[in-house]
Amino acid sequence: MSGHRSSGASSERGRGHRWKVLGVGFAANASFSAAFSGIPTTAVFIRSGYHVDNHALGLLFGMLGLGIAVSELPWGVLTDRWGDRRVLLLGLGLTAAALAAMAVFVSPKGAYVPGVPMLAAGLLLVGLLGGSVNGSSGRAVMAWFREGERGLAMSIRQTAVPAGGGIGALVLPALAAWHGFACVYGVLAVLCAVTAGFAWRWLHEPPAVEGAARATHATREEARTAPPVSPLRDIRIWRTALGMGVLCVPQLSVVTFATVFLHDFGRAGLLTISITMAAVQTGAAIMRVWSGHWTDRHGNRRAYMRACSLITALLFAPLAVLTAGVGASHAAMAIVFAAMIVLGGVSASAWHGVAYTELATLAGTSRAGTALAIGNTCVFMTMFLTPLAIPLVLSVGSWPLVWAAGSLCALLALPVFPRAAVSRGVKPAQA
């Protein structure tokens, strides 16, 4: 905020404006999540509309994750240098333009069916540009909220991912079925453009008075707790990020191929599939908010992350066993499969806000963009690899092996996460 404003005005804005900043971060993540989590829910229609098989589906969905993974670290470093406002506006605007171009040039129309290379390139570009929203929105939250309340704030921000995915799961399959993919990409472009407008209006640096107080507090806190090394050389940040990446395998198995599983194996209809995927995202959103508040109060972020690993492993294992036991073509089991997908998907998605808060806390506010980018690089590299691997696993061992692999990966994340005994949790801030 400009220096000529009164201290009273600055203070007032500092008390209330942070929630608008959080709202912008939420909207930015939700609008992009509607794309990278919502487009995979149209898998059945992509297969028919673009004339592709499951292997091509894996490649296409992987392109989104690859684009985000490759761009996260550059966007994060750029955010620490340029500031969150400039990076977020640039990224949202370019993402909206890329999606609009896909609506015009990469959508099946009549006899025209774009090839797999064109669609893959379009999705890769969307991932490259959309990766900007993650680190920039997270850094903005870290700047506006104090320690002891950042876990809740970051979890609310991360709730936008399943919220956006839930909206995509409910809306995009219907749009694809009734209006085609030009409408799908066009709606996503509008969401990103509208969010850019909100960011232009509300996303600013903390006001001078409160900002100075926060900076002083942050300096003292980071002098006591933050490592003297770059986030790129901090083993704790890399362990946390790698654990996040491994734990994303079961989550992304659900996000990318649960619709295909329910349709092909469970014989579920469009309504059941849409409700199931929306329930996964809604449940994950609720758990992320609760977990942020709970870990702020108890200072046990690392213990919570490790618990999520174990619980996810225990939920995916019976899904693998049941799938192997009943065989294919059991339409009556569709509801059971859907319920197990919801439970496993929620558990595999409930830890994100807590993990990102831990990363940002380890790095300190001034280097949060880079630390969050490291985490996102690992997460979205998993998003690239998982859809590519699942069709190969299906060709070898069918669906039981897919869910067994998800259970194993969740279990492997347990020793990768730093131990809870050295958790960096703090007491909650006073209201």
The pLDDT of residue 342: 95
Q: Which tokens sit at 186?
A: 């066009």
Average pLDDT of the chain to the nearest whole number:
82
CA dihedral (139, 193, 34, 123) in degrees, to 10, reads -100
CA dihedral (189, 127, 373, 85) in degrees, to 10, reads -30
Sequence-ordered list of residues with C-beta below 8 angstroms from that of 359, at least 6 positions apart, any chain: 237, 240, 241, 368, 371, 372, 374, 375
Task: Give the residue carrying structure tokens 């794309």.
Answer: 35
CA–CA distance, 65 with 61 (Å, rounded to integer): 7
The pLDDT of residue 43: 87
DSSP alpha helix (H) spans, 146-180: 150-178
Task: Map residue 218 onto helix, strand or coil.
Answer: helix
Judged on CB neighbours under 10 Å (0-12, 13-18, 19+), 109 is: exposed
Low-confidence winner among 58-62, 214-218, 237-241, 347-351 (lowest mean pLDDT): 214-218
The pLDDT of residue 80: 79
Low-confidence winner among 10-14, 18-22, 184-188, 378-382 (lowest mean pLDDT): 10-14
CA–CA distance, 357 with 360 (Å, rounded to integer): 5
Q: For residues 385 and 327, which has the higher predicted lDDT (pLDDT)?
A: 385
The pLDDT of residue 136: 77
Low-confidence winner among 31-45, 105-119, 366-380 (lowest mean pLDDT): 366-380
Q: Which tokens sit at 42?
A: 């149209």
- On the question of pLDDT at 207 being above 80, the answer is no
Q: For residues 415 and 170, which has the higher predicted lDDT (pLDDT)?
A: 415
Q: Which tokens sit at 129?
A: 């540009």
Whether pTM > 0.75 for this model: the answer is no
Question: Which whole number is the average pLDDT over 365-377?
Answer: 82
Would you place residue 106 in the very low, low, confident or very high pLDDT band (cuts 50, 70, 90)?
very high
Q: How many residues does the chain have?
A: 431
Q: Name beta bridge partners: 112.
A: 109
CA–CA distance, 273 with 341 (Å, rounded to integer): 10
The pLDDT of residue 9: 37
The pLDDT of residue 218: 47
pLDDT digits (tens, 9 = 90+) for 56-66: 888 888 888 88
- What domains are defined for the chain? 12-422 (1.20.1250.20)
The pLDDT of residue 181: 94
Low-confidence winner among 124-128, 187-191, 229-233, 347-351 (lowest mean pLDDT): 229-233
The pLDDT of residue 255: 84
Q: What is the C-alpha R_g of the chain?
A: 21
The pLDDT of residue 2: 38
Would you place residue 330 in the very low, low, confident or very high pLDDT band (cuts 50, 70, 90)?
low
Question: Which whole number is the average pLDDT over 380-403?
Answer: 87
The pLDDT of residue 15: 56
Sequence-ordered list of residues with C-beta below 8 angstroms from that of 201, at least 6 positions apart, any chain: none
Please work out, in degrees rounded to the nearest 5, the angle formed at the alpha carbon of residue 140 by the alpha carbons of 284 and 279.
10
Query: 404-431 burial by CB neighbour count: b if 16+ within 10 A, else e?
Result: bbbbbbbbebbebbbebeebbbbebeee
pLDDT digits (tens, 9 = 90+) for 30-62: 999 898 888 988 988 999 899 988 888 888 888
Q: Name residue 244's amino acid.
A: M
Q: Which tokens sit at 352?
A: 């994100």
- On the question of pLDDT at 213 being above 60, the answer is no
Q: Which tokens sit at 242?
A: 């790698």
- On the question of pLDDT at 120 being above 60, the answer is yes
The pLDDT of residue 8: 39
CA–CA distance, 55 with 279 (Å, rounded to integer): 27
Sequence-ordered list of residues with C-beta below 8 angstroms from that of 231, at least 6 positions apart, any chain: 237, 362, 363, 367, 370, 371, 374
Residue in 422, 392, 99, 93 with CA at minimum distance from that of residue 236? 422
pLDDT digits (tens, 9 = 90+) for 403-428: 999 999 999 999 999 886 543 444 44
